[in-house]
A = this chain, B = another copy of it.
Amino acid sequence: MRLKMAMIGGGTGSFIGPVHLMAARMDNKIELVAGAFSSDPVISARSGKEYGLSKERVYASWQDMIKNESSLSESKKPDFVCITTPNYLHFKPALESIKAGFHIVCDKPLCLEVEEALELKNAIDKRNTLFCLTHNYTGYPMVKKAREMVCNGELGTIRKVVVEYLQGWLSDKEEDKGNKQAVWRADPSKAGMAGCMGDIGTHAFQLSEYITGKRVKKLYSQLNTFVEGRLLDDDATVILNFEEGIKGSLVASQVALGEENSLSIRVYGTKGSLGWKQMEPNSLLLRWKDAPMQVYRTGTGYEAIGSTASKHNRLPAGHPEGFIEAFANLYRNFAINLIALKEGRQHDQQYDYPGIDDGIRGMQFLDAVVRSSREEEWADV
């Protein structure tokens, strides 16, 4: 069974739109059938053509799309809507799509405020909607392996988490140079209450909770804005206190000149520790108390034993898989679960994906880092 997808945003020239499409297409379980790719009718039409859609299913208004598409026959109607717009255009399209009976794949961060997040949660719960939030870094096989090892207790009791997300692309005032990606990210009305923290800090935060399986209870943050005239933070250091006494640090920056997309995490326990880097995603470093350090690698036989990691790669070891493949794992898992739902079968837990709760946590995190930094006090998350 192939699922039918409608898309909001992600028109020609956007960064994340084509990524969603390549990811959705990779495993041949999903087909794009409709889209409102831009509020500019010309761009939306051009995108639709490029993406191979027939004209009548391309819209300049997401409202129109939801209305028309939801009225189609079962054989034509989209199974789910994918939302790839800037942050401020997540909440309403998501809410209306849910209400119209669609399942959802939505870009992160979920929305602009905790209240919106809770409202979405409420809408979802009423309808048994499947909701995938594209915290795509959880799609990497070695992230699955990391989570599994930590949650199985293989590292012992966790003590410390060091997570970083460093980029350098906003070192200059890109938002004044017409960089489309920068313009909305630097605009509080479109990006929300935080800049760097919303865009990448939430990924780092989510990854730390995902791998440890523990929640951050409170934090202390200092948000910085280095580029003159920029309206939102472009850098931060945060001290994290998780439940069960786990301590952590989170450093995120978009002015770390020369850094590409350097997300990394290290987790230290009483029996062992692990390290993973997004830019070398097929390796997972494991260190042990009285034994040599190990490197687990994607696609090898030994990592398969009792592991979900092996269900998240497509190639034998040494054939590198990257960002698109990890992103595709979210779509693949979402599709597996949606097909199961449609066929009346149970969810399969090993094909997991981030959901509405990750979205709520993200909003709570942003709320806390902004509050802590402003008031120079610890903030509960």
From residue 172 to 192 of chain A, which have CB atoms closer than 8 A to chain B? none
Assembled-state Cα–Cα distance A292/B74 (Å): 49
Establish whether residues A318 and B256, one from each chain, have CB atoms under 8 Å apart when the complex forms.
no
> Does A167 belong to the interface (CB within 8 Å)?
yes
> Does A193 belong to the interface (CB within 8 Å)?
no
Establish whether residues A268 and B260, one from each chain, have CB atoms under 8 Å apart when the complex forms.
no
Question: A: which residues have CB within 8 A of B?
Answer: 2, 15, 18-19, 21-22, 25-28, 51-52, 159-160, 162, 164, 167-169, 171, 220, 222, 224, 226, 235, 237, 239, 241, 245, 247-249, 251, 253, 255-262, 266, 268-273, 278-281, 286-297, 299-303, 314-325, 376, 378
Which residue of B248, B255, B256, B324 contacts A321 across the interface (Cβ within 8 Å)? B324
Closest to A266 in B: B256
8 contacts between A and B (CB under 8 A): A26-B324, A222-B241, A257-B273, A258-B287, A260-B297, A279-B318, A286-B292, A320-B322
Closest to A220 in B: B220
Establish whether residues B51 and A28, one from each chain, have CB atoms under 8 Å apart when the complex forms.
yes
Establish whether residues B289 and A297, one from each chain, have CB atoms under 8 Å apart when the complex forms.
no
Assembled-state Cα–Cα distance A246/B28 (Å): 46
Assembled-state Cα–Cα distance A222/B261 (Å): 28
Establish whether residues B220 and A261, one from each chain, have CB atoms under 8 Å apart when the complex forms.
no
Contacts of A290 in B (CB 8 A): 301-302
Establish whether residues B21 and A259, one from each chain, have CB atoms under 8 Å apart when the complex forms.
no
Establish whether residues B15 and A316, one from each chain, have CB atoms under 8 Å apart when the complex forms.
yes
Establish whether residues B260 and A247, one from each chain, have CB atoms under 8 Å apart when the complex forms.
no
Assembled-state Cα–Cα distance A194/B272 (Å): 25
CB of A284 to closest CB in B, whole Å: 9
Closest to A28 in B: B52
Contacts of A26 in B (CB 8 A): 22, 25-26, 324
Assembled-state Cα–Cα distance A47/B352 (Å): 26
Establish whether residues A292 and B301, one from each chain, have CB atoms under 8 Å apart when the complex forms.
no
Which residue of B164, B239, B291 contacts A222 across the interface (Cβ within 8 Å)? B239
Contacts of A288 in B (CB 8 A): 258
Establish whether residues A256 and B169, one from each chain, have CB atoms under 8 Å apart when the complex forms.
no
Contacts of A289 in B (CB 8 A): 171, 257-258
Assembled-state Cα–Cα distance A316/B14 (Å): 12
Establish whether residues B272 and A258, one from each chain, have CB atoms under 8 Å apart when the complex forms.
yes
Assembled-state Cα–Cα distance A248/B162 (Å): 15
CB of A57 to closest CB in B, whole Å: 16
Contacts of A249 in B (CB 8 A): 237, 249, 251
Assembled-state Cα–Cα distance A174/B379 (Å): 35
Q: Known: A160-B253, A235-B160. Is A19-B315 also a contact (CB below 8 A)?
A: yes
